[in-house]
Amino acid sequence: MTQDQVTPLRWHGEVLEVLDQRLLPAEEVWHAYSDAEGVYRAIHEMQVRGAPAIGIAAAYGVVLAARGYAEAPDWYSRLGATMDWLAQARPTAVNLVWALERMRGCLGQVADSADLVAMLEAEALAIHREDAEANRAMGVLGADRILAEREGPAQVLTHCNTGALATGGQGTALGVVRELFRRGSLACVHMDETRPWLQGARLTAWECEREGMPCSLNVDGAAATLMAQGKVDWVVVGADRITANGDVANKIGTLPLAILARHYGVGMMVVAPSSTLDTETPSGDRIEIEERDGTELRRSGRRWLAPNSVAVFNPVFDVTPASLVDVIVTEKGICEAPGNQVTPLDSLT
């Protein structure tokens, strides 16, 4: 991949290629899938990850399924069942369900399975393209908001990977960081390594380094020290689901950052496309939080990091209450202090 071509997915019409993010940055391996089963596995096993990217991958998975069922008499019901099943690949990111619902919307519009394949493909491509456009708009809005309050370049801290690898474009939170960098207004992006999958160390550091951004990697536990030393002006993170009251589900470790940010007077910005807003769920305590296998903590590759029988608590996401968030940025605008409901969130859907 060249510098400006970081992408997690390549669509070739009859095949979806998925970059295996589990192997980055050591190896760049692409897997080709020609059916929905393969795409389900790629999402479930985290070859592709990041809320918008898994929604886009699932949309292409529906196209592959439709092509496979085109000759079957029961193509309509099989396709519906495949969409229900794909939605279960990972439970927390609402973008997955959102993208599948958009694809489902095509089902009622045509009677013929051949027309449907063309329509579904156009819809998947639109979902992909619109995500890239949303990324660009959020980058501008988020950077404007950060620079509105300061003279010099900004120091930011980010968590997990919210960049090109997690989306259809330049990224959500990392899109804001990219925009600051383009304007010459990025002093440093501090990157939490993000245990246990190390998306910050393996993916964000890889994306930032290859573009020559001023960046620095830290263990998750160093965030407090960075803030205490005055090295962070804003925490800038993405989201997997934002509920009607402004609560934010994001990668485990986001909630402690929000608590620290409030303690040290640092801004807390959440950047997510409107497809991440779930206004049907009233509050964060109703979000299903994915828990993954304890082996992810006990072992790194073949090396044991902990006794192999120790009990493990391994939630993948946490929920930050709206009251700890200063700003939510979507492509449609900015919601200040979502906890106070000054700007109603549904004005951004």
Q: Which parts are annotated binding residues for substrate?
A: 49-51, 90, 199, 250-251
Tell which positions 243-272 bind ligand MRU, by CB under 6 A: 250-251
Answer yes or no whether residue 50 interacts with ligand MRU by CB under 6 A: yes
The binding track of 56-85 with respect to ligand MRU, each residue x by CB under 6 A or -, is: ------------------------------
Q: Which 3 state secondary structure label does DSSP give 172?
A: coil
Nearest to ligand MRU of 155, 320 (CB atom): 320
Nearest to ligand MRU of 82, 254 (CB atom): 254
201, 194 contact by CB (below 8 A) = yes
Catalogue the active-site residues: 240
CA distance linking residue 35 with residue 12, whole number of Å: 13
Residues 166, 186, 226, 242: which binds ligand MRU (CB under 6 A)?
A: 166
Residues in the chain: 349
Nearest to ligand MRU of 155, 275 (CB atom): 275
**Six-digit token pair at 318?**
């946490």
The binding site consists of: 49-51, 90, 199, 250-251
Q: Of all residues in this chain, which one has the CB nearest to ligand MRU in the complex?
A: 238
Residues 8, 24, 42, 52: which binds ligand MRU (CB under 6 A)?
A: 52
Helix (H) or strand (E) segment spanning residue 147: helix 113-148
Tell which positions 291-320 bind ligand MRU, by CB under 6 A: 316
Nearest to ligand MRU of 82, 167 (CB atom): 167
Nearest by Cα to 64 from 78, 51, 53: 78
Residues in Cβ contact with 348 at an 8 Å cutoff, skipping those fewer than 6 apart: 274, 277, 328, 330, 332, 333, 335
How far lies 244's CA from each of 56, 131, 271, 287, 295, in Å? 23, 21, 16, 12, 34
Residues 9, 36, 49, 116: which binds ligand MRU (CB under 6 A)?
A: 49
Q: Say how many C-beta atoms besides its own lie within 10 A of residue 124's C-beta.
A: 25
Residues 9, 19, 36, 51: which binds ligand MRU (CB under 6 A)?
A: 51
CA distance linking residue 110 with residue 126, whole number of Å: 18
User: If binding means CB under 6 A, how many residues of this protein chain bind ligand MRU?
Assistant: 17
> What's at 181, amino acid-wise?
F
- For every residue of 124-142, DSSP letters joined together read HHHHHHHHHHHHHHHHHHH
Nearest to ligand MRU of 94, 106 (CB atom): 94
Tell the smallest beta-carbon distance from residue 167 to ligand MRU (Å).
5
> What's at 64, amino acid-wise?
L
Residues 47, 82, 170, 172: which binds ligand MRU (CB under 6 A)?
A: 172
Residues 7, 155, 162, 274: which binds ligand MRU (CB under 6 A)?
A: 162
SS3 content of the chain, % helix, strand, coil (to 5): 45, 20, 35
Nearest by Cα to 253 from 207, 186, 199: 199
Tell which positions 183-202 bind ligand MRU, by CB under 6 A: 199
Tell which positions 200-229 bind ligand MRU, by CB under 6 A: none
- Binding positions for ligand MRU, rule: CB under 6 A: 49-52, 93, 160, 162, 166-167, 172, 199, 238-240, 250-251, 316
